[in-house]
Structure 1
Amino acid sequence: MSIQKSLRLSLVLMACLPLIFLTIFTYNLSYKKYMDLATQSTVELAKNYGMGFQSQLNSQIAEVEGLANGTNIQNLVLENYNGVTLGNDSPYYTNVTDLFATASDYAGNNVNYYLYDVNGYYITSSDNTNTDDWQEHMAIPVEDITETKILQCSPLDEIESIDVVSPIIIKSQIVGLIRANITSRYFGSFIPEDGSAFIMTNDGGYLFTSTGLTGQRELETQAFNCLNGADNAKDYGHLKASSFKNIYGFCKLSDSNWLYLIKQQGTQYQQILATLPITMSITLIIILMIAIWVSRILSAKYTEPIFTLRDNMTDASSGNLDVKCDVASDDEFGDLSRMFNSMMDIISNNYKELSASKAALEVSEQELKKNYAHIEQLAYHDGLTGLYNRVAFMKYAYKIFHDASVGASKHAIFFIDLDNFKNINDTLGHDYGDLLLKDVSDRMLSCIASDDILARNGGDEFLILKNRFDTVDDLENFASQLVNVVHHPFILNDETAVVSMSVGIAVFPNNGLTVSELIKNADIAMYNAKNSGKNSYRFFDSYMEDDVNRKNDLADILSHVIDKNEIYLQYQPQVNVESGQVTGYEALMRIESELVGFISPAEFIPIAEETGIINILGEWALIEACNFNQVLIKSGFGPLRVSVNVSTTQLKDDHLIDIIKSIPEKTGMDLKHLEIEITESVLMNSFEHNLKLINQMKELGCSIALDDFGTGYSSFNYLTQIPIDTLKIDKSFIDGICSNEKDRCIADSIIDLAHKMDISVVAEGVEDNEQLQILQNQFCDTLQGYLFSKPLNSTDFIELLSKHKTLHD
């Protein structure tokens, strides 16, 4: 719709809407007023007519009661009561019959009177056509009617009517009954034949032939509630109605507990209201015609500048940026015209500048595309090998797994880790390690199919998505090919490097439904292959996950063992070969968990080292062992030396020296009574760093013991470089010295060489007297093993020391 038409419509609506609202308001106000008048009139009519109805009914009640007390009627009934049945021959019969006829004529023959004896037999009436006995139709015996009653519907007459019955009582004895049968005509205008007035009884029915409010459930419910006193009902009022069509007034007849209702129609008020919309409509039409004429003039005046401006803007939108608006006026349209001209000047200048910039942007677009491709290369590729990185692997693997066109194809993820890659970095340097990773990547690329994905996961880890395979044998062949691809040495510039790889395999959907889950399970299988000797592959199995879960559970347990007092130390004595006295002992860490019970050191120590918890546990063990040793010294058990093992992880922690320095302050024990045990393999891992630490420990006064000698590098060269005080021969050699000549010679050589270097020797795992005899003959200094004692708790160890002290004293 154009603005001109909109303006016209707005002006017309502004003129007409108030009148429309006024018309509606006036009509509603008038409707309510006339409705109130009609209702009030109906209520007043119901009140008057209801009282009139009640008055006529009460007159008949009085009439019946008067007849029941008449002498002739009582005498006639008394004859029958006494067994003297004269019938028409009774001297009272004619008088009573005439009396009934006169009363019926007085009521316009709309009321008939009947006389019955005490047994209900008919005696006489004003209506000779109905001579039925009382008991033929009535369920109530005459003698049970003790007072005047109204029977709402008479079963003794064909015409629907009501009965007023009154007992004839002589000397407190009921001897007969008078019945007045009243038709609706008796009440005249109070109960008109057109049904506009009717009576509702206390059971919800209606008197006479009226249908009342039958079919009008809502009104009928209102009337019934008024009759029974619900909703705070008054004695008279009106039923709520929605229109003038039928207005019901009511009056409650308290004597009989009936409700008198009368219906009136508000036709005369509707006719008055009908003229009001016509008058208002004529007025509205006149105002509408005037408004249309005025709106045409005003809209033309105020929209002409807008149309001019619209035409100018149309020209501008088609490309004519030099167009000008010539609306000359001092109002807002003139201001708008001047601003339009100023805007077009700015747009024209900017367009010329933008045209020049467009050419430069088109040149830059190609450069941006190149930069985006480079950024994408950096985001999804490994900078060293050029392979996909983990982000790209996850993205493309997810896409393959959810590609509907692939259908039910089988997939598998290979998790690859190079064995001992750290040694290459440590011995040759990181530059050679990078060259090795590139060469390994090239060799693996030559093995995979075109639709497989190879990615570097980080460090020396790789991922391969095998997109399709038929059988597990295909996967095994591919895994073997991968493991074998690195068997040939790598020539890295002027150096040669040899590595192997461990591979874990997870198959979709058997081992996981998501990429992340498959990678996790393949990683678990890879660690299983590495723990099984490396240079191999393993398919994921659920038991592997159980092992991982076990490790995780143990890691969680280890983090709380100190707080829960689930960690403790046991002590195994070290006995001097010559004197047989206990000169020291080794403190051994033990854990008894409330959840899983006893945990072997062989199981929890690697986990503690891997998680770093060993630093906390090791510090606790050092302090606890030194505390115990100080207690022993104070108790008079002599200067005993306590040996405590230190792991690779603890040696890497710079805090270890600070812990050792704090021991005298925390425990009171001199550090000369502390011996730090380091295994061969731990010592040779970062040898220069460990040598520096050992020298610092020696400066603090500690002794140094080399544990498990003979099982590691067994290089005698480094024995000259480190200040070792004690050499501990591993139990594996001691086990064979009785049966294996070579083991006996090795043990003898180690003891002899150590003595020449002024190093004392401790033999571990001595379990029988034959081993003891051989070691004595080889001049071994100290023995440790089950032959003397198993590891003991603090109480048992003190008891052992007490026995030895008593023995040697």
Structure 2
Amino acid sequence: MSFKKSLRILLIISSMIPVVLVSVVAHGLLTNKLIDVNTHNLQRSAETSKQGLEAMLKTQQTEVSLLSIQDELTYLTTISNEGRDVAPDAVNKLLQNRKALYEHCERISLYNLDHEIIASSDPELIGTDTNSEITLSHMMKTKSIAVAVDNVKPLSKAGDIIYTLEIGSPIMEPGSNNVIGYVISTIGTSYFREFLNSISFGETGFGILLDADGTILYHPNLSSVGKNINYDKLSNLISSYQQGEIKASGHMTCFYENTNQAYGYCILPSTNWILFVKQDIAEIRSITTIILALLFLICTILMVLIVISANILAKKISTPIIALRDAMRIASDGNLTVQSNIKSNNEFGELSKNFNKMLHIIKTNYEDLESMHEELLSNEEQLRANYDHIEFLAYHDTLTNLPNKLAFLDYANAVLVSSPPEQSMHAVYFVDLDNFKTINDTLGHEYGDALLVKTSQVLSSIINGAGMLARAGGDEFLLFKENVGSKDHALDFASLIIDHFKDPLDLDGEVVYVSMSIGISLYPDNGLSPNALIKNADIAMYKSKDTGKNKFTLFDSKMEEELNRNTIIIEVLRNAIDNNEVYIQYQPLMELNTNNVIGFEALMRINSERLGFLTPGEFIPIAEESGLIVELSSWLIKEACMFNKSLIDKGATPRPVSVNISSVQINRPGFVAMLSDILAETQLPPQYLELEITESTLVSSIMDATMLLKTLQNIGVKVSLDDFGTGYSSLNYLTKLPINTLKIDKSFIDNICVNDKDSCIAESIIQLAHSLDIRVVAEGVEHENQLALLRAQHCDIIQGYIFSKPLHPAELVDIIEEDDLITQFSLF
């Protein structure tokens, strides 16, 4: 489609859309307004017609009231109530004359107090008991006029069924307020027909009269009279009005009898009738047809004007564009001498001038472009060589010239894709040099780089082309061994790698011994993708590291489970304080000379919602490795100090609380300041806090440890050397470090009764400590023979299940209170 034609169509459409939209919106708003006005008119018509209906009912009520005071009726009812017989002819005649006055009156009857008809405009009814019980009961209870209290009732007349209503009045005894009889006029609903027939709106608008049960009292269609309306929205209006949900008059629209209809209604409270005036919405809408036709005519005229205007404007805009297009076509064919001759003073004229200027520049620089093209062609070879070098760098390690991890993944993936799992077995080896950092730190990084190059050469000679060797990064290498045959062959190859590095390597005159930790994963047993095999080999390598180094380990699913569990434990530890999953138990320490509780140790416990109860032996190493032990230890110290302070405040004998301190925590800058802040915050006297420090924590430097412990002693905190005998057990510690308490590890206590050496060592430790004025605590005492031996060896304090297991705070409070009570009695 040409630009000119497209522009013309665009102008026509863009001009017509607002007109059409405005027309549609105007038509819709006008239609809705017209429907709203008509429904209000229907409501006003219903309200006006209601007054007429009430006047007609009032006329009948007045007539019945006048009848009730006629002497003939009063006399007849009095005689009948006394049981005497009297001829009702005169009264019958009177009632017949009154009935004849009203075309729609079906009968008038006189009742005595026994609800028996004693006179009637229809003499055949005399002596019968009719169905006017509800009307009679109402008048008997209220002593007032009853108007249609029994709603509308069918009545057979000349073989037809007509619908009637009853208007009754009680007959009062002259000179008193006593009811002596009743007169009831039965009126046909046709009484209202002539009046209601006058209600008309257009061709579909008319009135409908319903009673409280939804029965139709009037309808232009006579066959509908007496039927119930089966549409709740109309038939339930009386009950909604009685419940205060709607007003006595109003209007609405609804879909009834497959037609959208507008209704105005008004309720007659005296009879609980409701008068509807309705009209089909389609008839109301038909009025807007003229408006719609007028809008269509206006749109047609506008369309003609817009088409003419669009043609003129499109031609004016497209002519210079077409001229410029033709000039560009000639220039694109190679004729750079062409000129655009648009003379207008608008943007097209400016565009023409710029086009001519552009052609001049292109023509001037054409030779330069040709020269540049030749130069680019001459440099193509150099670019290709550079690309090859870049591609090599992307897939190789620059130090060792080995393939990198990306190349290793491509190679492994290609092998695995072509090897069905059920037919082939391949192995991935993750190799990590042991203590590589030591080489860098002692000899320098240039020797570290030389070691990596030498190692890559040795590994390449081992693999000898039967697979791929790649450098994963740092001091890590990846080996892919194809078709290993069996698991044993894979393990033998790993052993061969370690054997090749038993002899030292010569690094520019420096002799270096190299060991390595190897992790192995097998395809398809340990993974079906290269990434899965590398990950599992990495896990197995770290297992080799953790179990002694300079060895190889084949991946096992339990390793991954252990790694995953450790990861979950880290998450648990990270949120343990916020989730209230960490708590403290306290194990009391008993002094053997007095059998009194001399102190208690705070023990951290974790009960996770995900993992359940975690033993300290499981979560403490993970907390130390991840650094989370710092936050947990700080929380433990603070909670233990707060608890001990609360015991002292309650009147308990002051006792020190012992807290284990990790090497990670104690070596962290600001440890002493943190400890001082906690003591200041909890207001616990420093002498009632004792820190338990293991030998491994102090092993790095006796001088640094001495300064730290002296600082703790200066602020008043006691120090206990924990797990003595399991570490270095250096006597140098005992002579130089300011220690208050020495704790013999449970591993010695377990065998002191069965192993003479352990017994002698324990006794020697106790004697040595006493000679240095250090108190001794025996951990893990569980049996009476252990306790007896420790007493004999003059051990100061014991801690273990023989006296008490670790207790919750409330349980410890009970033991302390009991111990204090016993101590008080012993003083007396």
Structure 1 length-normalised TM: 0.61
Instruction: Mark the CA change 1:77 to 1:506 in structure 2 (over 3 Å): closer, same or farther.
Output: farther
Q: Does residue 117 of structure 2 align to residue 118 of structure 1? A: no
Letter in 2 for 1:164: I
Using the TM superposition, give the Cα deviation of residue 19 of structure 1 relative to its aligned residue in structure 2, in angstroms. Answer: 6.4
Using the TM superposition, give the Cα deviation of residue 445 of structure 1 relative to its aligned residue in structure 2, in angstroms. Answer: 2.4
Q: Does residue 447 of structure 2 align to residue 444 of structure 1? A: no
Q: Does residue 166 of structure 2 align to residue 163 of structure 1? A: yes
1:148 alignment partner, one of 145, 148, 166: 145
Q: Does residue 319 of structure 2 align to residue 301 of structure 1? A: no
Using the TM superposition, give the Cα deviation of residue 113 of structure 1 relative to its aligned residue in structure 2, in angstroms. Answer: 1.3
Instruction: Mark the CA change 1:100 to 1:298 in structure 2 (over 3 Å): closer, same or farther.
Output: same
Distance in 2 (CA, whole Å) between partners of 1:164 and 1:795 is 121
Q: Does residue 51 of structure 2 align to residue 56 of structure 1? A: no
Query: What residue in structure 2 maps to residue 621 of structure 1?
Result: 706
Percentage of matched positions with identical amino acids: 26
Equivalent position SS for 1:189: helix
Distance in 2 (CA, whole Å) between partners of 1:430 and 1:193 is 114
Task: After superposing the two structures, state which structure 1 stretch, 211-220 or 364-373, moved more.
Answer: 211-220
**Retained in 1: the 8 A contact 2:99–2:106?**
yes
Query: What residue in structure 2 maps to residue 521 of structure 1?
Result: 539
**Retained in 2: the 8 A contact 1:418–1:460?**
yes
Using the TM superposition, give the Cα deviation of residue 108 of structure 1 relative to its aligned residue in structure 2, in angstroms. Answer: 0.8
Instruction: Mark the CA change 1:184 to 1:378 in structure 2 (over 3 Å): closer, same or farther.
Output: same
Equivalent position SS for 2:171: strand
1:332 alignment partner, one of 342, 347, 356: 347
Matched pairs, number:
609
Q: Does residue 192 of structure 2 align to residue 192 of structure 1? A: no
Using the TM superposition, give the Cα deviation of residue 180 of structure 1 relative to its aligned residue in structure 2, in angstroms. Answer: 1.5
Using the TM superposition, give the Cα deviation of residue 197 of structure 1 relative to its aligned residue in structure 2, in angstroms. Answer: 2.0
**Retained in 2: the 8 A contact 1:120–1:133?**
no
Letter in 1 for 2:706: A
Query: What residue in structure 1 maps to residue 768 of structure 2?
Result: 790
Distance in 2 (CA, whole Å) between partners of 1:63 and 1:378 is 118
Using the TM superposition, give the Cα deviation of residue 55 of structure 1 relative to its aligned residue in structure 2, in angstroms. Answer: 0.9
**Retained in 1: the 8 A contact 2:430–2:537?**
yes
1:179 alignment partner, one of 177, 184, 206: 184
Instruction: Mark the CA change 1:8 to 1:230 in structure 2 (over 3 Å): closer, same or farther.
Output: same
Using the TM superposition, give the Cα deviation of residue 421 of structure 1 relative to its aligned residue in structure 2, in angstroms. Answer: 7.9
Distance in 2 (CA, whole Å) between partners of 1:28 and 1:420 is 86
Distance in 1 (CA, whole Å) between partners of 2:14 and 2:450 is 88
Q: What aligned pairs does 1:64-143 form with structure 2 within 5 A after superposition?
A: 64-84=64-84, 86=85, 90-91=86-87, 93-127=88-122, 133-134=128-129, 138=133, 142=137
Distance in 2 (CA, whole Å) between partners of 1:316 and 1:64 is 111
**Retained in 2: the 8 A contact 1:503–1:529?**
no
Using the TM superposition, give the Cα deviation of residue 107 of structure 1 relative to its aligned residue in structure 2, in angstroms. Answer: 0.9
Instruction: Mark the CA change 1:162 to 1:356 in structure 2 (over 3 Å): closer, same or farther.
Output: farther
- The CA deviation string for residues 464-486 of structure 1, in whole angstroms up to 9 with x for no partner, is 34465454312221122222334
Instruction: Mark the CA change 1:414 to 1:34 in structure 2 (over 3 Å): closer, same or farther.
Output: closer
Q: Does residue 510 of structure 2 align to residue 507 of structure 1? A: no
Instruction: Mark the CA change 1:267 to 1:106 in structure 2 (over 3 Å): closer, same or farther.
Output: farther
Letter in 2 for 1:107: Y
Letter in 1 for 2:72: N
Q: What aligned pairs does 1:372-771 form with structure 2 within 5 A after superposition?
A: 372-389=387-404, 395-396=409-410, 412-416=427-431, 438-448=453-463, 452-456=467-471, 461-466=476-481, 469=484, 471-487=486-502, 499=513, 501-507=515-521, 514=532, 517-518=535-536, 520-528=538-546, 530=548, 534=550, 536-539=551-554, 553=623, 593=660, 601=695, 604=696, 614=700, 618-621=703-706, 624=709
Letter in 2 for 1:148: I
**Retained in 1: the 8 A contact 2:118–2:127?**
no
Equivalent position SS for 2:217: coil
Query: Alignment RMSD, CA only?
Result: 5.4
Query: What residue in structure 2 maps to residue 718 of structure 1?
Result: none
Letter in 2 for 1:526: S
**Retained in 2: the 8 A contact 1:116–1:133?**
no
Instruction: Mark the CA change 1:247 to 1:441 in structure 2 (over 3 Å): closer, same or farther.
Output: closer
Q: What aligned pairs does 1:244-323 form with structure 2 within 5 A after superposition?
A: 247-263=262-278, 273-317=288-332, 321-323=336-338
Instruction: Mark the CA change 1:56 to 1:510 in structure 2 (over 3 Å): closer, same or farther.
Output: same
- The CA deviation string for residues 749-802 of structure 1, in whole angstroms up to 9 with x for no partner, is xxxxxxxxxxxxxxxx9x99xxxxxxxxxxxxxxxx94995356963389xxxx
**Retained in 2: the 8 A contact 1:419–1:502?**
yes
Instruction: Mark the CA change 1:226 to 1:200 in structure 2 (over 3 Å): closer, same or farther.
Output: farther
Letter in 2 for 1:147: S
- The CA deviation string for residues 509-554 of structure 1, in whole angstroms up to 9 with x for no partner, is 98898467435423323325645xx4x4344676897999875555
**Retained in 2: the 8 A contact 1:111–1:186?**
no
**Retained in 1: the 8 A contact 2:434–2:516?**
yes
Instruction: Mark the CA change 1:316 to 1:223 in structure 2 (over 3 Å): closer, same or farther.
Output: farther
- The CA deviation string for residues 474-503 of structure 1, in whole angstroms up to 9 with x for no partner, is 22211222223345676889x796846344
Equivalent position SS for 1:191: helix
- The CA deviation string for residues 350-408 of structure 1, in whole angstroms up to 9 with x for no partner, is 55544433343344344334334334434543444322346765x55895799697657
Using the TM superposition, give the Cα deviation of residue 54 of structure 1 relative to its aligned residue in structure 2, in angstroms. Answer: 0.8
Letter in 2 for 1:120: H
**Retained in 2: the 8 A contact 1:104–1:126?**
yes
Equivalent position SS for 1:159: strand
Unaligned 5+ runs, structure 2: 200-204, 219-223, 567-616, 638-657, 664-690, 715-729, 738-757, 777-828
Query: What residue in structure 2 maps to residue 47 of structure 1?
Result: 47
- The CA deviation string for residues 575-615 of structure 1, in whole angstroms up to 9 with x for no partner, is xxxxxxxxxxxxxxxx98368998864xx36xx87xxxx35
Instruction: Mark the CA change 1:187 to 1:454 in structure 2 (over 3 Å): closer, same or farther.
Output: same
Using the TM superposition, give the Cα deviation of residue 316 of structure 1 relative to its aligned residue in structure 2, in angstroms. Answer: 4.2
Instruction: Mark the CA change 1:276 to 1:499 in structure 2 (over 3 Å): closer, same or farther.
Output: closer
- The CA deviation string for residues 391-449 of structure 1, in whole angstroms up to 9 with x for no partner, is 765x5589579969765776654344567889999999988876665454334224337
Letter in 2 for 1:374: H
Instruction: Mark the CA change 1:786 to 1:560 in structure 2 (over 3 Å): closer, same or farther.
Output: farther
Equivalent position SS for 2:462: coil
- The CA deviation string for residues 130-183 of structure 1, in whole angstroms up to 9 with x for no partner, is 679445574676555743212212266542221112333435554433222111
Using the TM superposition, give the Cα deviation of residue 320 of structure 1 relative to its aligned residue in structure 2, in angstroms. Answer: 5.1
Structure 2 length-normalised TM: 0.59
Query: What residue in structure 2 maps to residue 230 of structure 1?
Result: 245
**Retained in 2: the 8 A contact 1:505–1:538?**
yes
- Greater radius of gyration (CA): 1
Using the TM superposition, give the Cα deviation of residue 99 of structure 1 relative to its aligned residue in structure 2, in angstroms. Answer: 1.8
Using the TM superposition, give the Cα deviation of residue 120 of structure 1 relative to its aligned residue in structure 2, in angstroms. Answer: 3.0
Using the TM superposition, give the Cα deviation of residue 619 of structure 1 relative to its aligned residue in structure 2, in angstroms. Answer: 0.8
Unaligned 5+ runs, structure 1: 567-590, 630-642, 647-672, 676-764, 769-784, 799-809
Query: What residue in structure 2 maps to residue 207 of structure 1?
Result: 217
Using the TM superposition, give the Cα deviation of residue 57 of structure 1 relative to its aligned residue in structure 2, in angstroms. Answer: 0.8
Instruction: Mark the CA change 1:313 to 1:225 in structure 2 (over 3 Å): closer, same or farther.
Output: farther
Distance in 2 (CA, whole Å) between partners of 1:438 and 1:448 is 16
Query: What residue in structure 1 maps to residue 793 of structure 2?
Result: none
Equivalent position SS for 1:83: coil
Distance in 2 (CA, whole Å) between partners of 1:417 and 1:70 is 128
